[in-house]
Amino acid sequence: MNLPFFIAKRYFKSKKQKNFISIISNISMIGVAIGTMALVVVLSVYNGLGSLIRSFYNSFDPQLLVEAKKGKTFEVDSSFIAEIKSVPGIASVSEVIEDNAYARYKKAEMVVKVKGVSPEYKEQSGIGEQINLGTFKYREKQRNYALIGAEVQYALSVNVNNDFYPLQIYYPKRKAKASLDPRKMFNNKSILPSGVFTVDRKLDYIIVPLSFAQGLTGYGNERTSLEIMLESDARVSKVQNELKKLLGDKFEVLNRDEQQATLLKVLRIERLFLIVALSFIIAVASFNIFFSLSMLAIEKKKDISVMYAMGASDHLIRRIFLNEGLIIAITGALLGVFTGLGICLLQAEFGLVKMGFQGNVLIPYPVKIIWTDLLVTGAVVIVITLLASLRPAQIASRYNNNSML
């Protein structure tokens, strides 16, 4: 029999009258439970937000992106593309020219990102699922069309159903000489908008055919990136490593998380700060455990003296009060974990709390429960509360005084 745990359990259950010590113990247990519950909910919400962001950007970002490590562009020919396609697991490769440009529609104007894509883009991109106005086309009957982001459509007040007003796009000439005439400094091309897509309200992209982007930028055989789609059974990490070996140090091969590294890093930092803040709240709640155990040690001085008289050691007395703190910690942690889990399941099922996202549409706060988070949360709470129990346990082990008998 585990004697220290047995005695600690008796102390925990034997508070028949509602005295001050039992009230503080209950408050400390509830405080630990609330902190644990908040930690579980916050972790699940941030896991859900990360998954939501990935799901939206996955329709726009390729599975793998090849970019030059130095400089903006790199030369591409048919043999280079064929060499990349020879890597097992690659289904298609889309050539991309992407750069900032100046767009004008009627009297409105803004700086945009023009993205020229090859025909493979239509099959490998999920952008068609995000079209909320107009149609998904950028080349039809020898005519060029543009897909525009919701931010561009809003800022320029673009009407995709009006074929009489094309977008005017300007791009600086690469080798233009200084001139007072701006027409000599910029390439200018017009294109009709065909559809509006929504991935992020701040996504200021205009997607155009590759040939249009070549004429606008004058890049010729140069490309800013290659977007790669994999076969359904291919492992992203394996194909990524194979491409890195093939292309060498001159190129970067990025997966989807690496393409949105800044955004996901911000989420992780916010998540870390919230974890630290909530852990601090749990630590403050654990001070109640410190005081309740200290007062319990004073109240049980006679019991402690009896146990010393019966041959108990300092180690045994310390273990009794550490176990008492552990019981309070585990009870509070379990209560908090299951309450937080229940709240997350209710949110996932019924969407009780909503947030504004794209297009001012209210969507439920996403939650994603990761079981390792629950285990880590429980472990953190137990460690914090055990640390708060150390000092009262040491105080209790000093009450070795036969005069108390």
386 φ/ψ angles, rounded to the nearest 5 degrees: -65, -40
| Whether pLDDT at 341 is above 80 | yes
The tokens describing 71, both together, are 């400089």
| Per-residue confidence (pLDDT) for residue 67, from 0 to 100 | 97
- Beta carbons of 304 and 314 less than 8 angstroms apart: no
- Beta carbons of 392 and 293 less than 8 angstroms apart: yes
271 falls in which pLDDT band (50, 70, 90)? confident
pLDDT tens for residues 129-169?
888 899 988 888 889 999 999 999 999 999 999 888 999 99
Contacts of 131 (CB under 8 A, 6+ apart): 147, 195, 196, 197
- Give the count of beta carbons closer than 10 Å to the beta carbon of residue 177: 7
179 falls in which pLDDT band (50, 70, 90)? low
pLDDT tens for residues 1-12?
578 888 888 777
Which whole number is the average pLDDT over 242-247?
Answer: 96
Task: Read off the DSSP letter of residue 79.
Answer: H
Q: Could you identify the residue written with the tokens 């070996």?
A: 245
pLDDT tens for residues 44-60?
998 998 888 888 788 78
| Per-residue confidence (pLDDT) for residue 201, from 0 to 100 | 64
Is pTM, for the whole model, over 0.85?
Answer: no
More confident residue, 17 or 216: 216
pLDDT tens for residues 67-91?
999 999 999 999 999 999 999 999 9
Q: Which of 38, 32, 41 is nearest to 331 (CA)?
A: 32
Which whole number is the average pLDDT over 175-202?
Answer: 81
Which whole number is the average pLDDT over 329-352?
Answer: 92
- Give the count of beta carbons closer than 10 Å to the beta carbon of residue 147: 27
Q: What are the residue ranges spanned by the domains of the chain? A: 3-58+263-404, 64-256
| Per-residue confidence (pLDDT) for residue 405, from 0 to 100 | 47
